[in-house]
Amino acid sequence: RPPTRRAEEIDNDQHPVGHGRMLRKEDPRFVRGRGRYTDDVRLPGMLHMAILRSPVAHARIVSVDTSAAEAHPGVRAVITGEALAAQGLAWMPTLSNDVQAVLATDKVRFQGQEVACVVADDRYAARDALELIDVEYDILPPVVDARHALDADAPVIRDDLEGKADNHCFDWEAGDAAATDAVFADADVVVSQDVVYPRVHPAPMETCGCVADFDPVEGRLTLWSTSQAPHAHRTLYALVAGLPEHKIRVISPDIGGGFGNKVPIYPGYVCAIVGSLLTGKPVKWMEDRSENLTSTGFARDYIMRGEIAATKDGKILALRTNVLADHGAFNGTAAPVKYPAGFFGVFTGSYDLKAAYCHMTAVYTNKAPGGVAYACSFRITEAVYLVERLVSRLAAELGQDPARLRLANFIRPDQFPYATPTGWVYDSGDYAATLREAMRIAGYDDLRAEQARRRERGELMGIGVSTFTEAVGAGPRKHMDILGLGMADGCDLRVHPTGKAVVRLSVQSQGQGHETTFAQIVGEELGISPDDIDVVHGDTDNTPFGLGTYGSRSTPVSGAAAALVARKVRDKARVIASAMLEVAPDDLEWVKGSFQVAGDPGRSVTIQEIAMRAHGAGDLPEGVEGSLDAQITYNPPNLTYPNGAYICVVDVDPGTAQVRVRRFVAVDDCGTRINPMIIEGQVHGGLADGLGMALMEIIAFDPEGNCLGGSLMDYLIPTALETPDWETGFTVTPSPHHPIGAKGVGESATVGSPAAIVNAVIDALAPYGITGLDMPLTPSRVWEAMQGHPTPP
Ligand code: CDP
């Protein structure tokens, strides 16, 4: 078990992978406005598509009259659900083996659902023609509150499913119910808490869209699309639309943020493909902001009741939870098939427990489908939020300090690999070291002293703690697949004759800096400068098959693939070097970038010389083919389990109830750090996400099912004005099973931060006796809560 090292003990900048903090190779094109996004694709003769969406949440479609739209100047085609049904394309599978309407035929089931689309010469004509489509709706009562979805008199949303007589979606459980009940029965203290993680939206800067170009002569479809998983999308298009897979090329160019929003296949993509098939022209579809917010994959929407059992001196014994999950009108959850609740099973957090049990009921409601992992690994954000609220609540009940209560209950370093009561095997970590580091940076004891002084003056200062374990890097493929596609990823590496290299990946960057960090990994293994290594991704014709980027899986899976493929190339280089130096391969030592004869450093050949030899004239050693390249597919043996400890300091204005995050300390442990600068950027972004969810983001609905978060005037996301200067630190506990010990990090901060902020606000409000408050903690919500309680002395 490799030991955990703290920031002071390991200066990562001195021992970087590749070139450590090197600037991002992709940034010159981004900062000069030369990024090439889907909407930048302009093809000769390209047409434009717009989608007519349902204005209501639940209605039967009586008729759709498209005649006026068809007559509108510039319109080339109007497509309805009925027309798609004739081709067997009106419905498509979701990522969770449910079906979803491409264009509605029988009913509309959420506001914003796709009803028809227009393909026209330009975007304006397409949009104008939408207004001319006459749809007659027979309005039905909607199901908006998940708590009433299973009421006997609730309207049945999914009457398209044979025999469906209610809105039940699925039930799921994890852990041992009886064993957990027994521990609870014997516990000195049981604390329970209702916790809602509201519906939020990833809201990437670039909305979703595509350009579909079907070539009727070649029978070939090229699709530029905002996809986090181009290979998986291609296979699904082939399976659903019956197009031969080798005739489909999916290109995912630069992507302006994904956060899970660009994992599903949306009806718009399918309609654009149909539009191109019908017209024989390329068809572009780009959604606007409201379409993105109201119709594409939402996240969270879990109504949770959690219970925690402990001894009276604060030893946590067990956790129990019951969850009501709102899945919207179609179950579009993006998660490995065997995990309908994603990785919610890690709700036991970083604690050494005797038992745990979770039961979940998921229901259909008249809201957009989704359940995407918004910057988290499949529902871990919800899990972490629940357990971290519960532990802080327990600390308050016991009158103990929340940081010290956590320190006393963590899984200890010598317990790894640690099997949790719900069946996860954590690989490594030193949770106490991480929290102590956060307490050191924050000056925790001084903060508590300051809080006591301020309380005496009637000031509402709060200190919130959150510690978390993430589970990132899905597969292994024997347990994890998306619609039957195993979660493993390929990597190809080719070293050119002059020693420059190209590495091809199946994962797809949406801004995370893969072109830099993957070049660093290969550069470190081969002793080639990362500047001399090109990273190719996002094009199914030019990259190996794999499941794409989400759930911080790129570094755990493809990062491992990149290291191993480079080692494979190095093994081949050793054999060629042994011939060049006329010694046995075993007599060679690898000294970064060259092979040396053991004990005779004067005799060596560089990787560049070997590359030239591999392609050059003359014979190669027996059994060695020419060229210097290799290919692998990496099936991870386990997930990697990064962890972190976050401390947040807030001030709540006693008059206006406005919450100001004064300080935020985030200490993350993602194992071996490849590029510390990129990691800090990922953490900063994730913390801003977490602050948004804690304080302002919510996709809410009125009683008729109208979405109240359909624009960025209503769906508030944080700006530089609300975000504090983040203070970051790190510890390093390498993953024992990852070839370079790296764990994922992209989403850690989004996972860990909401609980720290909410815990801080609840801590600030302790003088009012407030013990629970649901996100987002807007001034009005906090103010209302304060009104219900007596003003503190
Ligand atoms: O899958 P995704 O790229 O979203 O997440 P990730 O694998 O956590 O990586 C996010 C970025 O941080 C990538 O550029 C990684 O290579 C980088 N990273 C790193 O430098 N060191 C780590 N231990 C983990 C990630």
> Distance from the CA of 552 to the center of ligand 1, in angstroms?
7
CA pair distance 328, 57, nearest whole angstrom: 11
Task: List, for residues 102-139, the tens digit of each pLDDT value.
Answer: 999 999 999 999 999 999 999 999 999 999 999 999 99
pLDDT value at 495 more than 50: yes
Task: List, for residues 704-714, the tens digit of each pLDDT value.
Answer: 999 999 999 99
Whether 514 is in the pocket of ligand 1, judged by its Cβ within 6 Å, is yes
Look up residue 183 and give its two tokens.
């521990």
Contact in structure between 229 and 487 (CB atoms under 8 Å): no
HEC string of 360-389 equals: EEEECCCCCCECCCCCCCCCHHHHHHHHHH
Whether 734 is in the pocket of ligand 1, judged by its Cβ within 6 Å, is no
Q: Which residues pair with 339 in a beta bridge?
A: none
* 568: number of Cβ within 10 Å: 17
Residue 659 and residue 777 in one domain: yes
pLDDT value at 388 more than 60: yes
Q: Quote the mean pLDDT of the chain.
A: 95
Ligand 1 atom at minimal distance to the Cα of residue 507:
1
Task: List, for residues 309-328, the tens digit of each pLDDT value.
Answer: 999 999 999 999 999 999 99
Look up the domain containing 215 and give its range. Answer: 38-140+207-255+262-295
CA pair distance 616, 603, nearest whole angstrom: 20
Considering the domain boundaries, does residue 654 fall inside one? yes
> Distance from the CA of 186 to the center of ligand 1, in angstroms?
44
Give the closest residue to 552 by CA, choosing from 427, 486, 643.
643
Q: Is residue 221 within a helix (H) or strand (E), and if so which, with residue range?
A: strand 220-225
Residue 630 and residue 643 in one domain: no
- State the complex-level ipTM: 0.99
Considering the domain boundaries, does residue 12 fall inside one? no
Considering the domain boundaries, does residue 178 fall inside one? no
CA pair distance 651, 638, nearest whole angstrom: 41
Task: List, for residues 642-685, the tens digit of each pLDDT value.
Answer: 999 999 999 999 999 999 999 999 999 999 999 999 999 999 99
- Domain at 556, CATH number: 3.30.365.10
Residue 627 and residue 656 in one domain: no
Whether 517 is in the pocket of ligand 1, judged by its Cβ within 6 Å, is yes
Residue 449 and residue 422 in one domain: yes
Arithmetic mean of pLDDT, 566-594: 96
Considering the domain boundaries, does residue 159 fall inside one? no
* 245: number of Cβ within 10 Å: 13
pLDDT at 241: 85
Whether 513 is in the pocket of ligand 1, judged by its Cβ within 6 Å, is yes
> Distance from the CA of 640 to the center of ligand 1, in angstroms?
12
- Helix, strand, coil tally for the chain in percent (to 5): 30, 25, 45
CA pair distance 84, 272, nearest whole angstrom: 12
> Distance from the CA of 745 to the center of ligand 1, in angstroms?
6
Residue 45: exposure state from Cβ atoms within 10 A (0-12, 13-18, ≥19) = exposed
Task: List, for residues 234-263, the tens digit of each pLDDT value.
Answer: 999 999 888 999 999 999 999 999 999 999
Q: Is residue 455 within a helix (H) or strand (E), and if so which, with residue range?
A: helix 444-456
CA pair distance 496, 688, nearest whole angstrom: 42
Whether 353 is in the pocket of ligand 1, judged by its Cβ within 6 Å, is no
Domain final residue pick, 277, 295, 313: 295
Residue 710 and residue 644 in one domain: yes
> Distance from the CA of 352 to the center of ligand 1, in angstroms?
28
Considering the domain boundaries, does residue 344 fall inside one? no
Residues near 721 by beta carbon (within 8 Å), at least 6 away in sequence:
none
> Distance from the CA of 682 to the center of ligand 1, in angstroms?
8
Whether 745 is in the pocket of ligand 1, judged by its Cβ within 6 Å, is yes
pLDDT at 89: 94
- Interior/surface letters 618-644, b for 16+ CB within 10 angstroms, e for the rest: eebeeeeeeebbbebbbbbebbbbbbb
Query: Confidence band (pLDDT; 50, 70, 90) for 12?
Result: very low
> Distance from the CA of 126 to the center of ligand 1, in angstroms?
40
Give the closest residue to 10 by CA, choosing from 683, 669, 518.
669
> Distance from the CA of 671 to the center of ligand 1, in angstroms?
11
Query: Confidence band (pLDDT; 50, 70, 90) for 1?
Result: very low
Contact in structure between 167 and 158 (CB atoms under 8 Å): yes
Q: Is residue 232 within a helix (H) or strand (E), and if so which, with residue range?
A: helix 230-241
Whether 553 is in the pocket of ligand 1, judged by its Cβ within 6 Å, is yes
Whether 482 is in the pocket of ligand 1, judged by its Cβ within 6 Å, is no
Whether 554 is in the pocket of ligand 1, judged by its Cβ within 6 Å, is yes
Considering the domain boundaries, does residue 174 fall inside one? no
Domain final residue pick, 601, 634, 667: 634
Output the CA torsion 687→690→691→693 (10° steps): 160
Query: Confidence band (pLDDT; 50, 70, 90) for 11?
Result: very low
Task: List, for residues 319-359, the tens digit of each pLDDT value.
Answer: 999 999 999 999 999 899 999 999 999 999 999 999 999 99
Strands in 726-732's sheet, in edge-to-edge order, are 5-6, 726-732, 659-669, 643-652, 460-469
Q: Which residue's CA lies nearest to atom 9 of ligand 1?
A: 746
How many CA atoms within 13 Å lie on the side-chain side of 209? Answer: 26
Considering the domain boundaries, does residue 619 fall inside one? yes
| Strand intervals (E) in 72-208 | 75-80, 91-93, 99-101, 107-108, 114-120, 134-139, 168-175, 189-200
pLDDT-above-70 percentage for the chain: 97
Whether 678 is in the pocket of ligand 1, judged by its Cβ within 6 Å, is yes
pLDDT value at 14 more than 90: no
pLDDT value at 617 more than 50: yes
Residue 418 and residue 510 in one domain: no
The torsion region of residue 379 among left (phi > 0), alpha (psi -120 to 50) and beta comes to left
Residue 617 and residue 669 in one domain: no
Q: Which of 255, 682, 731, 735 to mutate to test the pocket of ligand 1 (most atoms within 8 A of CB)?
A: 682
> Distance from the CA of 675 to the center of ligand 1, in angstroms?
8
Residues near 429 by beta carbon (within 8 Å), at least 6 away in sequence:
4, 350, 411, 413, 416, 469, 641, 643, 669, 733
CA pair distance 562, 391, nearest whole angstrom: 39
Backbone φ and ψ of 762, nearest 5°:
-60, -40
Residue 42: exposure state from Cβ atoms within 10 A (0-12, 13-18, ≥19) = exposed
pLDDT at 645: 98
Residue 694 and residue 759 in one domain: yes
> Distance from the CA of 727 to the center of ligand 1, in angstroms?
19
Residues near 247 by beta carbon (within 8 Å), at least 6 away in sequence:
218, 219, 220, 221
Ligand 1 atom at minimal distance to the Cα of residue 746:
8
Ligand 1 atom at minimal distance to the Cα of residue 509:
3
Domain final residue pick, 634, 659, 687: 634
Residue 654 and residue 617 in one domain: no
| Strand intervals (E) in 711-765 | 726-732
> Distance from the CA of 213 to the center of ligand 1, in angstroms?
33
Whether 555 is in the pocket of ligand 1, judged by its Cβ within 6 Å, is yes
Residue 508 and residue 573 in one domain: yes
Ligand 1 atom at minimal distance to the Cα of residue 744:
8
Q: DSSP alpha helices (H): ranges in 282-330? A: 289-295
Q: Which of 512, 537, 669, 672 to mutate to test the pocket of ligand 1 (most atoms within 8 A of CB)?
A: 512
Task: List, for residues 273-301, the tens digit of each pLDDT value.
Answer: 999 999 999 999 999 999 999 999 999 99
pLDDT value at 174 more than 90: yes
Q: Which residue's CA lies nearest to atom 11 of ligand 1?
A: 512
Output the CA torsion 469→199→39→746 (10° steps): -10
Q: Which residue's CA lies nearest to atom 12 of ligand 1?
A: 679
Ligand 1 atom at minimal distance to the Cα of residue 551:
1
Give the closest residue to 189 by CA, choosing from 346, 318, 88, 379.
318
Question: How many domains would you assign to the chain?
Answer: 3
The helices-and-strands tally (H runs, E runs) of the chain is 18, 33
Cα of 595 vs its chain's centroid, Å: 41
Look up residue 784 and give its two tokens.
């209302």
Question: Which residue reads 């049990």 in tokens?
Answer: 357
- Domain at 48, CATH number: 3.90.1170.50
pLDDT at 376: 86
Question: Which residue reads 């009457």 in tokens?
Answer: 159
Residue 522 and residue 447 in one domain: no
Cα of 727 vs its chain's centroid, Å: 23
Ligand 1 atom at minimal distance to the Cα of residue 745:
8
Arithmetic mean of pLDDT, 384-388: 98
Considering the domain boundaries, does residue 151 fall inside one? no
> Distance from the CA of 744 to the center of ligand 1, in angstroms?
5
CA pair distance 559, 507, nearest whole angstrom: 10
Whether 674 is in the pocket of ligand 1, judged by its Cβ within 6 Å, is yes
Residue 493: exposure state from Cβ atoms within 10 A (0-12, 13-18, ≥19) = buried
Query: Confidence band (pLDDT; 50, 70, 90) for 790?
Result: confident
Range with lowest mean pLDDT among 7-16, 95-104, 532-541, 568-577: 7-16
Residue 431 and residue 463 in one domain: yes
Arithmetic mean of pLDDT, 3-7: 54
Give the closest residue to 368 by CA, choosing from 300, 423, 448, 280.
300
Q: Which residues pair with 282 in a beta bridge?
A: none
Task: List, for residues 17-60, the tens digit of each pLDDT value.
Answer: 666 889 999 999 999 999 999 999 999 999 999 999 999 999 99
> Distance from the CA of 684 to the center of ligand 1, in angstroms?
13
pLDDT value at 9 more than 80: no
